[in-house]
Structure 1
């Protein structure tokens, strides 16, 4: 019988994972709130031009999603593995916006050079790894003791 991910040994994380999970969740709540309030123009600049939705809607909707994901990271309890996986998927889904900003040479968030925009692309995988590690997703994925 397979171990349920909610009851697996991986559902328990160490203190460092918990600290980094809460820190990442807090960052997401802050960024999501910025989408809705003071950073809307900056986030609108990141919406890919090929996306067939109103850019302001995309910014507002992604802001709400970021707040919900951030809160889930902070208060997830036994569901932290699911929260981490959801956040990692979200980071993958928004990566085209970062690529679009680089390709189209759009200035936003102080990224006013091609070099700065290019370097930023490497931070997305770091965020994905952070979300997966801090919530125990890697442990679930690579746990050799599962039956």
Structure 2
């Protein structure tokens, strides 16, 4: 059964469009202005400016990949991995109290941001049809795999 025919297809479609838009915007920001993000890069990251630019490219590619049905599954998996990989920068930003222009610095911002990261992993996987949780159907109309 195609993903569009599932009972939660509307939720998936809305979340997919929202996630693609968010990653596209943040990807463009990372590519266009990488320098403000350099202070939150952990010291062990080589070539931090290049890494920030490459993360932007990954965000843009992931956003495009989500909206293209043929690449959606792979894009979702890669964006989920991406969300895990950037977590050290989020931790450094929060715990080292690194000031980044135009971003808040209080725990009212960092706390929810850190807690929301696993949701970004789920969100990417759900949008791409990799997982259906928590929307499993009781009628057994799960999408075919393979």
Note the residue ranges of structure 1 that are not aligned, 5 or more in a row.
Answer: 1-8
The aligned counterpart of 2:58 is 65
The aligned counterpart of 2:35 is 41
1:83 partnered with 2:83: no
1:74 partnered with 2:74: no
Q: Under a length normalisation based on structure 2, what TM-score does the superposition of the two structures give?
A: 0.78
Q: Under a length normalisation based on structure 1, what TM-score does the superposition of the two structures give?
A: 0.77
The aligned counterpart of 2:119 is 126
| CA separation of 1:57 and 1:144: change in aligned 2, threshold 3 A | closer
Task: Check conservation: 2:94, 2:105, Cα contact below 8 A.
Answer: no
1:130 Cα deviation from its structure 2 partner: 1.1
Task: Check conservation: 1:84, 1:132, Cα contact below 8 A.
Answer: yes
The aligned counterpart of 1:50 is 44
1:31 partnered with 2:22: no
Return the structure number with greater relative CO, CA threshold 8 A, min gap 6: 1
Task: Check conservation: 1:48, 1:101, Cα contact below 8 A.
Answer: no
Query: Aligned partners of 1:126 and 1:132: how far apart in 2?
Result: 10
Note the residue ranges of structure 2 that are not aligned, 5 or more in a row.
Answer: 137-141
Query: Aligned partners of 1:107 and 1:124: how far apart in 2?
Result: 20
Task: Check conservation: 1:26, 1:74, Cα contact below 8 A.
Answer: no
Equivalent runs, 1:11-30 vs 2, <5 Å: 12-13=3-4, 14-30=9-25
Deviates more, 1:120-129 or 1:12-21: 12-21
- Of residues 89, 93, 98 in structure 2, which corresponds to 1:97? 89
| CA separation of 1:119 and 1:19: change in aligned 2, threshold 3 A | closer
The aligned counterpart of 1:5 is none
